[in-house]
Amino acid sequence: MKLASVIQSGTRRLGVVDVQAGIVSVLASGPDVDAVVRGYPGALEAVRAGLATAEAVPLGEARLTSPLSRFNRDILCTGWNYWDHFEESRGKREGQDPDGRPTHPTFFTKGPDTVIGPYDDIAYDPDLSQKWDYEAEVAIVIGRDGRSIPPEHAMDHVFGYCVANDVSQRDLQRQHGGQWLKGKSIDQTMPLGPWITTADEIEDPYALQIECEVDGRVLQDASTAQVAFSFEQIIAELSWGMTLRAGDVILTGTPSGIGNAREPQVFLTDGSEVITRVSGLGTLRNRVAKVKLT
């Protein structure tokens, strides 16, 4: 199933997306997407039952928002998970290069107020930062609590997947002691969606094609087959001694092609159009819009 959050008459409702038919079946009542994720797998039965009386809305007319709205904690993120991306930035990290390639996944977090919908504007304040960068990623949504999850059982805890763009402010990222929280946590900057595709619909999570297009130019194009650390290892190491909860979101890293590593550099600015695609998971379409955040 592809589960979306749809705004109808000011109310957030659950919708089941049929991409081929181009419709969203919006449930009249029942749990929202957040509740379904936390009630997995039994809550999916309530969704299926609700389809009998759901309203079919053309996909192009549905107002989709971020599929998740209630977060347990910060968004959990993985850095440097594509070696091409790790290498492209070598010598461009302003003195913050590690000595060599990491031997374990690199983790950081983003504040939940970064999250916006799949077609919302990305906030842009040039007084806050001069280096707004794009990062197309696959996001994992956890559906079962677990601590110290062994790799061989890691995928049992995955509810599904969606698309994210980890928009980052590179100058802020470098200014605060080499940790990334500040440069990754600016409000209204991380598109998420357009829906959650349940794990059973993804035959091979390592055969997903990731693209990021800015102003009509494809700047990132890679496969999840290229990840440095598997999704299983990410979940296992992140959960080692630390409980993952149903509803947690984990970003799995961005491939090469980021703006900060290009020559000349490419950064987002007011009016930029950003399209983020992952095969089988959908497409985010966002405009960068100037707002006052400071």
Angstrom CA distances, 195 to 44, 127, 253, 284, stand at 15, 33, 19, 10
d(CA 157, CA 178): 32
pLDDT at 123: 98
pLDDT at 8: 94
Q: Can you spell out the DSSP letters for 194-255?
A: EEEEEGGG-S-TTS-EEEEEETTEEEEEEEGGGBSS-HHHHHHHHTTTS-B-TT-EEE----
pLDDT at 62: 98
pLDDT at 91: 72
Can you read off the two tokens belonging to residue 232? 């299983």
Over residues 263-285, the pLDDT tens digits come to 999 999 999 999 999 999 999 99
Among residues 9, 10, 21, 16, the alpha carbon closest in space to that of 49 is found at: 16
Over residues 145-200, the pLDDT tens digits come to 999 999 999 999 999 999 999 999 999 998 888 789 999 999 999 999 999 999 99
Which ranges of the chain have pLDDT less than 50? none
pLDDT at 78: 98
pLDDT at 60: 97
